Amino acid sequence: MIKNFVPAQPNLSKKSLQIAGSNLPYFRTQEFDRMVGQIKTDIKELFNAKKHKVALLTASGTGAMDCVLNNFLTDKDRVLVISVGRFGKRWVELCNFYNLKYDYVGSSLEVLRKKCVAFKPTVILMQHNETSTMELLDIEAVGKICKANKIKLVVDASSSIGIDPLNIDSCSIDVLVAGTQKGLGTIAGLSVVVYNRSLKIVPKNYYLDLTKYKDSNDGLSLPFTPNIVATHQLAAQLTKFKTLGKDGLKQRIESIKRKKEYFYSLYKGPKLGTSSCGSIIVKNIVVKAVVEHLKKEGIYVCPSKGLDGRELTIGHIGELSYKDIRKLVGKIQR
């Protein structure tokens, strides 16, 4: 049986697997529209985004990032990117592609404050949790800096939504984007864009034009053919959080954190990463060889481009047991 210890693709729940293996109803119906409407309501409630709108895109997290630049940024903006890994660099690549004026910094809040004074950005682009390093950035502190300097804050939360605590309103997040295949437990190919309803939309792309993703689009909840399976899975996952009570999402996040702490208690090598997933340094072993060996046994881990190629990124999300964790540690530490 395959066990995914990666942050990018968790083992799906039994309910999500059941949905993926089913013939699903046609989507141009009132029932599907109501389901999409409930998804939007649940996201706003679970992540405290009452002043925001929600759009569902049939696209990966990168598609949602692209959507931000296509709808909310213009050539008059001055963009500051907080980059601490591969997906921070993707923000930079997008800025280069669209010929935007930009600069970038690391995770130092002091450097960020100075750069805000010197560069005078109108927008900050960042990750909440950088997938490639599992570094969890201080989004609340960045939000305060943005609010004090009247800077729009855009956050890619693909590797933190449903995994680490996230409060859109209290962190002054203007736009949040995320793929749903990680902490929200769907197959890949669906993403969310949660944006402040006061933001002006200036679309520059037909498919990603957020003015088409209205709450009511001539009776249709989504303008184009959606990722039907992932949409049903997302609806089921959000419902599951709610059935656990008002702290259902919090319980889920605490469960992931406990699994990470258990893994770290067993693994005797150096640990990295500050999110509820994590990274480790594997000593005296070629990481690629470890990855290939584990793959033969149906265990998937993710190599990182860290210190001398000796890092592994380990995910603790999805359907993983403590027995699975013990088995993984035993294989790595032989």
pLDDT, tens only, 78-134: 999 999 988 999 999 999 999 999 999 999 999 999 999 999 999 999 999 998 888
Closest CA to 61 of 150, 139, 130: 130
pLDDT for 214 equals: 75
**Plot region of 245 (φ>0 → left; ψ -120 to 50 → alpha; else → beta):** left
Neighbour tally for 180: CB within 10 Å? 31
CB 215 within 8 A of CB 84: no
Instruction: Using 70 as the pLDDT threshold, list the residues of the chain that sit under it.
Output: 215-220, 245-246, 283-285, 305-309, 334
Query: 205-242 as b/e, with b when 16 or more CB fall inside 10 Å?
Result: eeebbbeebeeeeeebbbbeebbbbbbbbbbbbbebbe
- CATH 3.40.640.10 in the chain is located at 14-243
pLDDT for 139 equals: 97
pLDDT for 259 equals: 93
CB 242 within 8 A of CB 248: yes
14-243 CATH:
3.40.640.10
CB 177 within 8 A of CB 64: yes
Closest CA to 221 of 24, 26, 52, 37: 37
- CATH 3.90.1150.10 in the chain is located at 3-8+246-332
Q: Pinpoint the alpha helices (H) of 59-181.
A: 61-71, 86-97, 109-119, 139-149
pLDDT for 284 equals: 59
Quote the pTM value. 0.94
**Sign, CA torsion 92/96/98/103:** positive
pLDDT for 220 equals: 59
The torsion of the CA quartet 58, 63, 67, 70, rounded to 10 degrees, works out to: -130
Q: Which two tokens stand for residue 104?
A: 């970038």
3-8+246-332 CATH:
3.90.1150.10
pLDDT for 142 equals: 98
